Amino acid sequence: MTSQPAVTDAVPTFDDDPFGREILTDPYEFHRALRDLAPVVLLPRYGVYAMGRFDDVHASLQNWQTFVSGRGAGLSDFAKEEPWRPPSLLLEADPPDHTVVRKAMGDVVSPRTVRALRAGFQIRAERLADQLVEQGTFDAVSDLAEKYPLEVFPDAVGLPPTGRENLLPYGALAFNAFGPHNDLLDAALAEAAPVQEWVLASCQRDALTPGGFGAQIWEAADRGDITKEQAPLLVRSLLTAGVDTTVYGIGNSMYALASNPDQWDTLHRDPELAKFAFDEALRWESPVQTFFRTTSREVTVSGTRIPEGSKVLLFLGSANRDPRRWGADADRFDIRRSAAGHVAFGMGIHQCVGQPVARLETEMVLKALAVRVRTVELAGEPKARLNNTLKGWASIPLRVTPA
Ligand code: HEM
């Protein structure tokens, strides 16, 4: 006979602040303590529940009926507080509304439509890689991780040429806004007004170049797949979720490889491993560290009862390093590991719709460098860039030797 675990309302509390500078800079000890304390803990500072173990995070992401997104994927509960902007039709929506819009977006950004971008993305990655190898030393953030996505992605969307410098501050604002109203959010809000105006204008049909993802979203509205009111908000989803994420993804991949020279050597010998290196980097240092859900009913998770209407903080970055799932060497960056199944792109109905774009960008960059660069090393102290949701770098000075 198998015994059922006892159900308890007694939830251990954790006083540490996961949105404080110390833990945002280096969250891994906190993650370990969170996972080891209990499957579900309470963070009294914010009055929210939290989960850090892989199985519980994974199961909650898939259980959209109980862990809903429509009340916000951040700390703020849209049932109680006015959102800072009209909610996302994808990230902050539940079925049946989410289903219709997700289908339309999935038709626009699909493995097939993204394949058509491959040749162009490859040429630009190779050109940039040639230039960086020629330089010998460069900053993997400003000279690569920011530069490449900002070159290729706005063109793929069909954005106007002017004002693209607004994309990074807008993403920084949106991702900070999922967290508490702390100094990081204040700083992001301080530069927000002109940025938001540009984003709003760039989502309109007449601002978008024919053939791009943006124009294709408007065509879906013409066909009646979505409404004309929904179209600009869907373009906005691309601008919010499609830039900072890949900047952090490329930066984190380069940091992982540069600080593990044996792994660069493995990649250099077999550049076809680029896509596996990206998945392992996403697992090892997940660009999107956290998302919230709200419980639509009382639910029991691994024996702990969570009341209806609770905000629950899911630590994707912790789940991706849980030794219960990844083994005793979960903290080791190993591009030959099978990292498939990580939750860095989420899981279930909200799983990242932009994955093919993120994968294409990073694969092109890593491959182009892997064939040209024999060794890569840190040429200075990397500097963290803090954000309430994203983990990554403001600067990673690198020195490379050509192949
Ligand atoms: C390394 C890069 C990226 C990472 C780590 C990432 C991560 C994520 C995660 C974790 C989610 C799930 C959110 C949730 O469950 O609440 C998500 C959803 C989403 N992502 Fe990404 N993303 C990346 C790149 C992109 C790109 C390039 C685009 C646009 C082309 C994009 C567009 C979206 C959208 C629209 C959603 C919402 C989907 C839905 O709710 O149905 N992402 N992403």
Give CA–CA dist 38/36, Å, rounded.
6
CATH architecture group of domain 21-402 = Orthogonal Bundle (1.10)
- pTM for the full model? 0.97
Q: Which atom of ligand 1 is nearest to the CA of 248?
A: 1
Distant-in-sequence, close-in-space partners of 187: CB < 8 Å, separation ≥ 6: none
- Nearest residue by C-alpha to atom 18 in ligand 1: 352
pLDDT digits (tens, 9 = 90+) for 323-342: 999 999 999 999 999 999 99
Say how many Å lie between the CA of residue 142 and the centre of ligand 1: 22
Answer whether 357 contacts ligand 1 (Cβ < 6 A): yes
Please check whether residue 53 is in contact with residue 35, taking contact to mean a CB–CB distance below 8 angstroms: yes
Of the residues 352, 360, 361, which should be mutated to test ligand 1's pocket, given the most ligand atoms within 8 Å of the CB? Answer: 352
Answer whether 350 contacts ligand 1 (Cβ < 6 A): yes
Answer whether 90 contacts ligand 1 (Cβ < 6 A): yes
Average pLDDT, the chain: 96
Residue 1's pLDDT is what?
Answer: 40
- Nearest residue by C-alpha to atom 38 in ligand 1: 350
Residue 6's pLDDT is what?
Answer: 74
Average pLDDT over residues 179-191: 95
Element (H, E) at 265: helix 261-269
Distant-in-sequence, close-in-space partners of 185: CB < 8 Å, separation ≥ 6: 173, 176, 177, 179, 388
- Nearest residue by C-alpha to atom 30 in ligand 1: 354
Give CA–CA dist 303/315, Å, rounded.
19
Please check whether residue 179 is in contact with residue 75, taking contact to mean a CB–CB distance below 8 angstroms: yes
Answer whether 352 contacts ligand 1 (Cβ < 6 A): yes
Answer whether 291 contacts ligand 1 (Cβ < 6 A): yes
pLDDT digits (tens, 9 = 90+) for 347-369: 999 999 999 999 999 999 999 99
pLDDT digits (tens, 9 = 90+) for 33-72: 999 999 999 999 999 999 999 999 999 999 999 999 999 9
The percentage of the chain sitting over the pLDDT mark of 90, rounded to a whole number, equals 97
If one counts every other C-beta atom within 10 angstroms of the C-beta of residue 369, the result is 28
Residue 9: pLDDT band with limits 50, 70, 90: confident
Element (H, E) at 383: strand 383-386
Please check whether residue 52 is in contact with residue 45, taking contact to mean a CB–CB distance below 8 angstroms: no
Distant-in-sequence, close-in-space partners of 79: CB < 8 Å, separation ≥ 6: 71, 294, 309
Please check whether residue 391 is in contact with residue 317, taking contact to mean a CB–CB distance below 8 angstroms: yes
- Nearest residue by C-alpha to atom 21 in ligand 1: 352
Say how many Å lie between the CA of residue 374 and the centre of ligand 1: 33
Please check whether residue 297 is in contact with residue 312, taking contact to mean a CB–CB distance below 8 angstroms: no
Please check whether residue 394 is in contact with residue 143, taking contact to mean a CB–CB distance below 8 angstroms: no
pLDDT exceeds 90 at position 163: yes
pLDDT exceeds 90 at position 4: no
